Chain A
Amino acid sequence: MNIFDIIGPIMVGPSSSHTAGAVKIGYVARKLLAEPVAEAQILLYGSFLATGKGHGTQLAIVAGLLGMEPDDDRIPYSLRLAEEQNMKVLFGEAKLKEAHPNSVQLNLTGTSGRQLEVVGESLGGSLINIAKIDGLSANFSGEHPTLIVHNLDQPGHVAEVTSMLSHKSVNIASMQLYRASRGGEAVMVIECDQEIPRESVSWLSHLEGVNKVTYYSLQNDIVQNDILR
């Protein structure tokens, strides 16, 4: 927390958790997809489902998926803008187990066909947690550049990734490892102090045993981001 969490943020109302946090979940998901959204299934859960309408939660998530940040005054018109940009939006109810009361599951398809499933939680005071990516645990806040690697659960992948980061002088702020089952799929979630060069991210995605690489950059480069496949 710093003083601009107290006086601030500048945001579109009415609620920091149900509006600003919701925009941020959409925004982070859009950047993780790394290309414009062609189709979005927005599945709400808990209090997002119950009181989301009055708080503009749906509008907020769509705005984020369009690349808007929480202070963008076009948020109230996001559904219209989505239509203009040929982004298909479907709303529904999420079937989640033991999720945070303010949760949403986003099933996204990008303009090139890239797919991504994100579960985001709004923790209050516009802080968020990206709980899952493609059904596997992630748990990061979107406050740092974050690298998410889905790989086969085999020896050596962690070393490949960390040595690439050290070679590029990127400092690791936090690192989490998860696996779905032994020898199955594993996830590395690495929050960094510096941005990771694009080429390095795409180099990783071509490695043997690496299934998918997703990167969240803090730079507002929605357009540039589209280059990353």
Chain B
Amino acid sequence: MSFASLREIISESQKRECLFWEVILQEDCKERNVSREASFETMRRMYQAMKEADASYDASLRSASAIAGGDGLRLEQLRKSKDTLLGTFLAEAVEKAVKMGESNACMRRIVAAPTAGSCGVIPAVLLTYEKQRGAKEARMVEALFVAAGIGEVLATSASISGAGGGCQAEIGSASAMAAGAVAYLEGGSEEEIANAAALALKNMLGLTCDPVAGLVEVPCIKRNASGAVNAVLAAHLTMAGVRSAIDPDEVIDSMQRIGKLIPACLRETGQEGLAATPSAKRIAEGLSSE
């Protein structure tokens, strides 16, 4: 059975006297009838696949529309050339997020987390964390369980698809999942994990899904970078003791209600918003005249 609220996960962790990630792992063992080791190993494989996807980024590839590709390398060059505005951590996270989004658009192998369009957010933040903070791989896998638990609540009580709830449900969900994961890595409690997820999600509420020519390219790729920065921001606020005035589960409820209010033309149909601009139409025409 999936958890329908963050509150449920927190109270289970108190009851079972174990951490947030452990509760999620135990539920997976029950649900799929597998051992602890098997569950952990499957999640480790997901982490490994994220790493491989990041390492095999190819800046020479271009997407179907021919407009996506190569920005990851630009970001890498800037990061390596000087002390950037974003600082070492965020500069690398942004670079990895864009690389992953571009790889997805160019038909490379990625890990949907929670979707293909938002596949860059979680690995960007976690891979950067492991590298720059020298964390152990096992801990990173635990953090992925935290992210998965938050994602499960979002999928059960709101939505994790752009067609269902707009981009707040994709990049917003990924950002909330990553924020909780980072809060955990920084030593945050169960409550703080939920708080970080709530703060991240609040910043993404109302975000529509308006992809140009209906493709997972514009604005998706750069939104992965925004989701990654937002996740780190939410964890940072949380660890400083900043608390969400709105209960985390109520934030998730709001996302669900807002998603229902977003008209269909702004839910992955590629009809409105950015997709309806003259620039977008030029891109779409270029694609169909090929």
Contacts and interface: CB of A to CB of B under 8 A. Distances in A.
Interface of A: 1-16, 19-20, 47, 50-51, 53-56, 59, 71, 73, 75-76, 124-126
Given A3-B148, A8-B113, A51-B215, A124 B105 contact: no
Given A7-B147, A11-B116, A13-B106, A1 B46 contact: no
B142 to A, nearest CB: 12
Contact of B112 (A1, A2, A16, A53): A16
Contacts of B49: 10
Interface string B144-155: 110111011001
B43 A7 contact: yes
Nearest to A8: B46
B157 to A, nearest CB: 12
Given A8-B46, A8-B111, A71-B109, A3 B24 contact: yes
B107 A8 contact: no
A207 B112 CA distance: 45
B138 to A, nearest CB: 16
B29 to A, nearest CB: 11
Given A8-B46, A10-B49, A55 B115 contact: no
A138 B224 CA distance: 39
Interface residues of B, number: 52
A76 B64 CA distance: 11
B36 interface: no
Contact of B213 (A2, A16, A51): A51
B42 interface: yes
B198 interface: no
A12 B107 contact: yes
A113 B43 CA distance: 43
A14 B115 contact: no
7 contacts: A2-B28, A3-B152, A7-B113, A13-B106, A14-B116, A16-B112, A73-B109
Given A14-B63, A56-B64, A59-B107, A8 B112 contact: yes
A13 B287 contact: no
Contacts of A19: 107, 116
Contacts of B151: 3, 6-7
A126 B115 CA distance: 10
Given A3-B145, A13-B108, 11 more contacts: A6-B113, A6-B114, A7-B114, A8-B111, A11-B109, A14-B105, A14-B107, A14-B216, A19-B116, A55-B215, A59-B107
A2 B113 contact: no
A55 B216 contact: yes
Contact of B109 (A5, A8, A10): A10
A72 to B, nearest CB: 8
Contacts of B213: 51, 54
Interface in B82-122: 103-117, 119, 122
A124 B107 CA distance: 18
A54 B214 contact: yes
A124 B112 contact: no
Nearest to B119: A13
B265 interface: no
Contacts of A7: 43, 46, 111, 113-114, 122, 144, 147-148, 151
A75 B112 CA distance: 17
A14 B268 CA distance: 14
A50 B214 CA distance: 9
B32 A2 contact: yes
B278 to A, nearest CB: 19
B254 interface: no
Contact of A14 (B24, B215, B287): B215
B64 A54 contact: yes
A13 B64 CA distance: 11
Contact of B217 (A4, A14, A59): A14
Contacts of B107: 12-14, 19, 56, 59, 75-76
